[in-house]
């Protein structure tokens, strides 16, 4: 099998709703990005979950909702949220750590739930469980198999960090054997735990050389094995135009304390552009993330420069070696 690589441009007229319905989780992953100091500990009620979905529904736009947590399947009414989102015309995804609480597979259906995504950060228990906790690999892969047997569309999300980049290639035989056809590779961001807890001399982040050497190559091999792979662009080519998703797309990262961000890199800070108050979506006053989106700098993404400056290197003239793309810009490699 061969493959076709392309950058997935930002889609105007489309909205993506990343909906954190609670922040509680049964796991304590070492790189967890959830920050309860900023996002609270509320679990939304079923009524509020449904009302907030209505706030973001727009029948004239293709809308995708991704239910997140914490662990979203710990919410006893997740299946109602899925059904409500589908009734509002949205494409529905649940991102789970694999535990699938509250009998999710039997409480919803593959017709209502378009994608069920499992987070797995290593091709075996040794690598994955050193990051996500003991027993997680076995639970996650067992439930993936169950979901596939019940005809759910299953995908896997792998967060690349210095702890697991060398094992990325091992995911290809694992996903092929389980029958997963969709693979999302993410890059670790310094948010939540990973901004606090450092690991080894290198820290969590991977170097540009490691990323560029390993990720595109493994993605191509996975596509050649019949798996559709999506991964962040990260480094722009010289002739590629920089665009900030905060200016050109509609992405909403909703937290249960009512904060709504347009950019995920901003989530550790009280600079959200929008908030939900009394079930109304309103703009926030003062300095917020919207002000940063306008800034045009040689390094590309301004929030990356502010929050993760170690990802940027400079030549002898002080020019950045690479411009950093918007973290929401993706590349995909499709089996053909």
The binding site for ligand SF4 (CB under 6 A) comprises 25, 27-29, 32, 34, 69-71, 97, 244-246, 263, 265, 292-293, 301-304, 326-328
Contact 300, 242 (CB under 8 A): yes
- Buried/exposed code over 73-89 (b: 16+ C-beta within 10 A; e: otherwise): bbbebbbbbbbbbbebe
The smaller minimum CB distance to ligand SF4, of residues 201 and 310, is found at: 310
Peptide linkage before 70 cis (omega within 30 of 0): yes
Which residues does 298 contact at the CB level (< 8 Å), separation at least 6? Answer: 319, 320, 323
The smaller minimum CB distance to ligand SF4, of residues 36 and 198, is found at: 36
Minimum separation from the CB atom of position 170 to ligand SF4 (A): 20
The smaller minimum CB distance to ligand SF4, of residues 157 and 214, is found at: 157
Minimum separation from the CB atom of position 132 to ligand SF4 (A): 6
Minimum separation from the CB atom of position 294 to ligand SF4 (A): 10
Contact 119, 72 (CB under 8 A): no
The smaller minimum CB distance to ligand SF4, of residues 223 and 254, is found at: 254
The smaller minimum CB distance to ligand SF4, of residues 3 and 73, is found at: 73
The smaller minimum CB distance to ligand SF4, of residues 67 and 293, is found at: 293
Minimum separation from the CB atom of position 133 to ligand SF4 (A): 8
CA distance 64 to 74: 21
Minimum separation from the CB atom of position 316 to ligand SF4 (A): 27
Contact 140, 178 (CB under 8 A): no
- Find, among 66, 157, 49, 179, the residue nearest to 114 by Cα: 66
Reduce the DSSP state of residue 129 to 3 states and report it.
helix
Which residues does 304 contact at the CB level (< 8 Å), separation at least 6? Answer: 265, 311, 312, 324, 327
Minimum separation from the CB atom of position 93 to ligand SF4 (A): 15
The smaller minimum CB distance to ligand SF4, of residues 172 and 236, is found at: 236
Minimum separation from the CB atom of position 1 to ligand SF4 (A): 32
Minimum separation from the CB atom of position 27 to ligand SF4 (A): 4
**Number of C-beta neighbours around residue 59 at 10 A:** 7
- Find, among 311, 270, 266, the residue nearest to 292 by Cα: 266
- Find, among 10, 36, 7, the residue nearest to 22 by Cα: 36
The smaller minimum CB distance to ligand SF4, of residues 92 and 302, is found at: 302
The smaller minimum CB distance to ligand SF4, of residues 97 and 108, is found at: 97
CA distance 180 to 81: 25
Please provide the size of the chain in residues: 336
Minimum separation from the CB atom of position 118 to ligand SF4 (A): 10
Give the Å distances, CA to CA, from 193 to 30, 38, 223, 332.
6, 13, 32, 28
Alpha helix positions (H), the chain: 36-39, 46-56, 78-87, 104-107, 125-132, 136-149, 171-178, 193-196, 208-224, 245-248, 289-293, 302-307
């Amino acid at each position: 099998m061969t493959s076709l690589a392309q950058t997935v441009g930002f889609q105007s007229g489309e909205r993506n709703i990343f909906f954190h319905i609670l922040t509680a989780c049964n796991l304590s992953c070492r790189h967890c990005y959830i920050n309860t100091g900023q996002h609270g500990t509320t679990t939304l009620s079923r009524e509020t979950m449904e009302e907030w979905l209505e706030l973001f529904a727009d029948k004239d736009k293709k809308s995708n909702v991704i239910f997140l947590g914490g662990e979203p399947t710990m919410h006893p009414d997740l299946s109602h949220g899925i059904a409500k989102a589908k009734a509002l015309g949205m494409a529905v995804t649940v991102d789970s750590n694999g535990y699938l609480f509250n009998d999710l597979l039997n409480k919803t259906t593959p017709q209502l739930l378009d994608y069920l995504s499992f987070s797995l950060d290593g091709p075996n228990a040794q690598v994955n469980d050193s990051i996500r906790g003991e027993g997680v690999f076995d639970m996650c892969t067992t439930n993936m198999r169950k979901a596939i047997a019940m005809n759910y569309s299953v995908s896997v999300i792998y967060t690349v960090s210095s702890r697991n980049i060398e094992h990325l290639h091992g995911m290809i035989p694992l996903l092929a054997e389980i029958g997963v056809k969709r693979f999302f590779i993410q890059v670790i961001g310094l948010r939540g735990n990973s901004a606090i807890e450092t690991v080894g001399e290198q820290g969590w982040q991977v170097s540009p050389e490691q990323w560029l050497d390993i990720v595109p190559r493994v993605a191509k091999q996975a596509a050649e094995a019949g798996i559709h792979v999506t991964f962040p662009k990260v480094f722009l080519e010289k002739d590629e135009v920089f665009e900030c998703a905060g200016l050109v797309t509609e992405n909403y990262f909703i937290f249960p304390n009512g904060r709504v961000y347009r950019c995920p890199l901003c989530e550790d800070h009280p600079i959200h552009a929008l908030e939900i108050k009394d079930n109304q979506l309103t703009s926030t006053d003062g300095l917020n993330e919207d002000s940063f989106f306008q800034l045009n700098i040689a390094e590309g993404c301004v929030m990356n420069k502010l929050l993760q400056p170690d990802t940027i290197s400079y030549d002898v003239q002080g020019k950045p070696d690479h411009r950093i793309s918007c973290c929401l810009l993706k590349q995909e490699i499709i089996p053909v």
